[in-house]
Structure 1
Amino acid sequence: MTELEVANVVGMITYQQELDMAALAETFEDREETTSVTYEPAENHWLQTRFAPDDTYVAFYRSGRCSIAGCESVEHFETVVEQVNGVMRDLLGFEYEPAVEVSNIVATADLGSNISLEALTIELGMERTEYEPEQFPALMYRDSEYVMLVFSSGKLLCTGLTDRQAVSEAIETMASRIRAVL
């Protein structure tokens, strides 16, 4: 079994109302949960914040959506969601449970041996792979649900899936195919 390391979990919270960005920015300035607040409507249409204790990036949009990036696990993402919802519940006074979804898990793995990316391109098939070493140092494998970058050093990066088990299976499948080429 190939060990994977989650590098980033990204997700969204959807509130059932439009958000007043200027009022939120002003309120967040005084909250201990936020370590930084940036709202510059002339440059960006969203409110950028960082939540304590680890400065997790949280962006708020007028549409009532909120994106969270930089979590190191699904559990960490869920903790930040609870924290953000607690603050937003205080500010907006809603009683419903906002919709929450993980939209991307980025994970890495190291197979511990060098890989011939030319041979792997042939093994995986040209229709799903891109390998142009002059432009980018990794082979890019596109599945219908995810993208896997394979580096000649034996490192893998998987992105596009929303479930840790699916990420694990994708990495294990790729590792098996690579071992067949070695």
Structure 2
Amino acid sequence: MKGRTTGTVRGWRWRRNPLRRRTDVVETWLALFFAVALCATPLLGWWADRSVGRVLSHEVATEHAERTLVTATLARDKASGSKTRPTEQLRWTGPDGSTRTATVSSDIEVLQQGRIKVWTDRAGRLAPPPLDSATAGTHAVLAGVAAGSAAAGLLVLSRQLLMWRLMLRRLESWAREWARVGQDWGRAGAGG
């Protein structure tokens, strides 16, 4: 076989090397593990996106089923003599046909001729707008990106900490070897 020497296989040059230390083997396996785990982080992000997306799409459907968009009118009843923000009286018809009113801040957006669209719950009370599909999709994507990024960051940080610890062990091993060999290493007739 061309390019191969006796006893070596491509990628296994350290297998029978007398200079190979246990820390070298651990470092190799850690590199392989973290490379595979880092490649899996986009899958974690995708899974988080899909999971959050399912929950939020259910929430969108539920909120749209429980709330109704109705037209309300403003009756200009400003608070007299008050230095606080003026208020407006808002009137609308509830699902049961009864007239409802609420006091709102005067900075509410008027769409046409004093009429505005407001969301109400099943009982006819004012409710916040339901979550829309685009916002839910954006939140799902952001959750996926955050989960994938956090996992990748945690992996990189873990690898750095493990490599730091491994390097300390390697340096301690080298210090023990140098202490064992002594300062006469390499001199002729010194036994080293």
Under TM normalisation by the shorter chain, which class is it?
A: under 0.3
TM-score with structure 2 setting the length: 0.24
- Based on CA coordinates, which of the two structures has the bigger radius of gyration? 2
Q: Between Structure 1 and Structure 2, which shows a larger proportion of strand residues?
A: 1
